Each structure stands twice: as structure tokens, then as C-alpha cells.
Structure 1
Amino acid sequence: MIRKTDIISINSIKELPSLERIKSIPREKTLKLVFENEVKSKREKIGENLKKELLGFQVGIHTIEPEINIAKLITDEEIVSNQDFFEQCAKDYRELGKVLLFKLINKLNLKLNEDFPLGTFNALKSGKKQIGKVENWKYFVHGFHCGFENKTTGQTIEVPLVFGLEFGDLDPYFFTKYIKSTPNYKPLPIEIYEDYADGIRINEKMISLGKFERISSNIGNHFGIVVTDREKVNIKSCEELDEQNEKQNKQVGNSKFNIWKFLGLKK
């Protein structure tokens, strides 16, 4: 569903809509405040105040145009009402990610580092195999993920590579994009308009409901979110990986492996 936008020209502070009026805007609409010459200079201050007052809203202060865009985000009540749907989406995401990743591993004849999958896929980033196809899916290895897009349906999913054999990390943006691109979920029981901001609210509320939980990754100070009802796997920390590789390298006379150096970061 495409949102409609109400546009209000602001020529003076008195013409600003009240907080009550802004809060009454349904999620199906957005509000654009256009500041005319005399009040342009006050736009940023007004926008920052609106951010503090409008909890549960996305307030965007345009960096070039003299405008503020306001959108109501998915509510706690909507998430609670659809918690079973979001939980099933998370389970499906985890399963599909695992299936696709192993299809790619088999096609490219890779030896998977089960403790640290990124160690296997990082090598693809500098060659022709970084981008390609596996069955009816296009894939692209980038960052901490391997992305897949179905060539027929347009369904997309980003499979994480820094949680050991846990492939269900729900990045808020990637998770909502997956939901919106999955044919079997249409029509959606609840609209998702702001992929990242709505995704954050969905994840946080699902955590508070006990449906999702946070997990640590192979990378220090990097965490993920996964569905709680799952078969849990052990995820080694970067310190454990360093210690494990140090022992292995001593056995073969190599220098110490360091995950931060491997990623191009000093430590």
C-alpha cells in the first residue's frame, strides 16, 4: 500500500499543527511540513523538539529542502496482535537462509568454516565468485552477509556469516525486506512502511514478549537477534576463535591468527 502525504505550508510558528493533531495521523498517511522563508531558520530546532515529543514516530529533518517529514511507526499493539506471524517469519527466515547458503557451498565446492563462516566467504570477495547464481537465486557476498534474490518472485534474504552455524540473525532492515518480498505472506496481515524503523520496533517488542532474543556473534561488540523457539547452536566469540586458531597454528608452526587482522582491523 502506498502512503498518502498531507502537506502543510508553515509561514509562522502559529501555523504549526498541534502534537495532538500530528499524533492522530494514521499510519496510512505521512505529514510533510514545508517551512517558508520567514521560519526556515527554525526548522531544525522544531524538528529536534518533535523528535523528543513524538515517540513512536519517525521525524525526518531534510538536510537540503526546508521540510520535516513525519510518519507514524508500527505500534506495540499491532506487533502484539501479529506476534505469531512475526515469529513464523523469523523461523522461515532462519530455515531459508540455511538452505540457500548450503546450496551455494555445494555449488562452489567450498569447505565451510563452521565456527566462522565469514572466513570461508571472505575469500570470494576479491574474485569473480562474489556475485553469481545458484539455482533460481542470484547471490552477492558482502560485508557480514551473503544476500540472495529469487529471480522469479523477487524474494530477498540476507544470510549472516558471523554467528557460526546460526543463520537466523534478524537485521531490522533485512528482516522487513524479506517479509515484504515473500509471496506466501501476501497480503500481509499488517502493513510495514518504514523498513528499518518499523523493523527495529518489531524486533524490540518481540524481544520483550520473549519471542525473540539477543545473541553474541563471532565479532566483538556485534550482536544479533534471533527467534527464541529454535534449535540453539554454539557461537564462539572472537577470543575463543583466536585461541583456537593459535593452538592450531602452533601445531603447524604458523604465526598466530587474529580475527581482527583477518577483517582488516587492528587490535
Structure 2
Amino acid sequence: MKATTHLINVKSVEELPSVEDIITKPRHQQIKIIFSPHVNHLREEYGNDLKEKLLNYQIGVHLIKPEINIRQLISDEEIILHQSFFVQCAKDYRELGNKLVHLFCKEKKIKLNEQFPCLNFNNLKDRKNQSGKVSHWKYFIHGFHCHFNNVKTGQKIEVPFMFGMEFGDLDPYFFVMFIKTTPKYQPLPVDIYEDFSDGYRILKVLLSLDLLEEINSNMQGHTGIVVKDRKKIEINIFDPDVYFETLKPQSKWSKLLQFFKF
């Protein structure tokens, strides 16, 4: 269902909606409360009270504007009901990520470092190579991901490259972006309105159902989340002292800078 906004202008304490009023609103309807100057001093206290009482809601207390935005998030029941759909999305994400990395390396004539693909992508983070196009996919390398955008279908995916040959790590926002832009999923079996917050809840519930699991990355202390029903891939911790041993003389700092090049 299309998202809508229910506007409430508040000029007195009596006009502040109660928790009971808020929970009667459908999930597709965002509530925007506008505070008049006479009651604006109550905005933060009122918002914090709502955060304590409405745990399955996103309560956005604006820091500057005299407003609070309220949205009910996807429920545990909705996620559980559609768990098979979300698990299939996670599998598709992983499969497409793997396909695009190999396509990228083939088109760019790059020998893929199957132990640490991050080194391939980090070395391309310059003005000439950081963005471009392979086949019908535009790409942009940033942080720990390579963004791909299909110019024909509009499908978008952020492929992680910090987990060895495991390309199925799921970020809440990126996962929802993938779901919303994948043509074969449309129309979605369940509405998603808040990309990050709903995505976070989806991953959290699927983890609790033992359908996803946490994995380590190539970087010590950094972890990710992938679908559990998959062929397991060994992920090694990157040690610059060991890996760059043959490239001496190099300082330890220069080794780390090469690994963490953003």
C-alpha cells in the first residue's frame, strides 16, 4: 500500500495524540506532529516518552524543526509469515553478488584474489577506476562495497568484498534496497516503508529463527550476516605482515594503508 502522511498540528497539551490514538493508525500511514511555539518545549520529552512505550515504532524527534515523525515498523508476525520470501531474497542477493564480482573481473581483465578480493577493489579506488560500467551494470566502489545499478531494470545491489569469496553479507538498508529494486519481487508480499529500520528488524527476526547467521570478515573484529542455508566458504583474517612480506621494504603503516584504502 502506498505510504501516506497523517498531519497533526498541536497547539496545546490536550491535542497531543495518546499512545492509544497512535496505534490505531495503519502501518502505511506516517504520523507527523507539528508543534506550535507554545508547546514546542514539550517536544523532546513527549518524543522520549513515545520511544519508551512504542517499541515497534520509529520515533523521529527532529533536532531543529518543531516536529515528530512516527512510523509503525514491520512486525515480527509479518516477518515470520513471509520468512521464506526474505530467505530467498538473501540467497538471490548472494548469488547475484558472486556473479557480478566475476563479471567485473572478467570485463576489467583483473585476476581475482580469491583469498582477499578486497585488495582488488581497494586498488581501484581512484578517479579513473572507482566508477564505470560493466555490461549493463553501472558500478561505484566505496568503503567495503561495490554498488551495482542495472541500467535496464533499475535493480540495485551493494556487493560486499570484505568476506573473501562470500558475497552475501546483508546490511539492513542495502538488503531492502535490493528487494525493492528487484523486478521479479514486485509487488512485494509485505510492505516495507522504512528501509533501514524495517531492514534491521527483518534481519534480527531471521537471525532469531536461525535462518541467518553471523560470520567473520577478512578484518579482525568485523562481522557480517549471511543466509544460513548455503555452501560455507572459508574466510581468512588479513594479516598485512604476512601478506605483504614479499613486498619489502614496506613499513607496517604502509601495509595497513594499502589494505584500508577507501
| Structure-2-length-normalised TM-score | 0.94
Residue 119 of structure 2 contacts residue 259 of structure 2 at CA under 8 Å; is this kept in 1?
Answer: no
Corresponding residue for 2:109?
109
Superposed CA offset, 1:76-123 (max 9, x none): 000000000000000000000100111000111112222221111111
Q: Post-superposition shift, 1:257?
A: 5.4
Task: Find the counterpart in structure 1 of residue 167 from structure 2.
Answer: 167
Amino acid at match of 1:245: Y
Trace 1:231-242 onto structure 2 (pairs within 5 A).
231-238=231-238, 241-242=239-240
Percent identical = 49
| Alignment match, 2:152 | 152
CA contact (8 A) 2:240 2:256 kept: no
Aligned AA (1:42):
L
Aligned residues: 260
Tell me which amino acid in the other structure corresponds to 2:174: F
Q: Which amino acid aligns with 2:193?
A: Y
The more displaced of 129-138 and 162-171 is 129-138
In structure 2, distance between residues paired with 1:254 and 1:114? 25
Q: Pairwise CA RMSD of aligned residues?
A: 1.7
Distance 1:199 1:157 in 2: 14
Q: Which has the higher contact order (CA 8 A, sep 6+)?
A: 2
Question: Deviation at 1:71?
Answer: 0.2
User: How far, CA to CA, are the matches of 1:220 and 1:37 in structure 2?
Assistant: 50
Distance (whole Å) between structure 2 residues aligned to residue 253 and residue 44 of structure 1: 57
Deviates more, 1:212-221 or 1:28-37: 212-221
- The SS at the match of 1:158 is strand
Gaps of 5+ in 1: none
Uncovered stretches (5+) of structure 2, i.e. residues with no partner: none
Deviation of residue 263 (structure 1)? 4.5
- Partner-residue secondary structure (3-state), 2:9: strand
Q: Kindly provide the CA deviation profile for residues 7-63 of structure 1, in whole angstroms up to 9, marking residues without a partner as x.
A: 111122222111122122211111111111111112112112211211010011112
Instruction: Say if 2:61 is the partner of 1:61.
Output: yes
The CA distance in 2 between the partners of 1:46 and 1:202, in whole Å, is 28
Is the contact between residue 122 and residue 260 of structure 2 (CA under 8 Å) also seen in structure 1?
A: no
Q: C-alpha distance in 2, partners of 1:52/1:43?
A: 15
Q: Which has the higher helix share?
A: 1
Partners of 1:214 and 1:52 in 2: CA distance: 29
C-alpha distance in 2, partners of 1:210/1:98?
A: 23
Q: Alpha-carbon deviation of 1:2? A: 2.7
Q: In structure 2, the residue corresponding to 1:129 is in which secondary structure?
A: coil
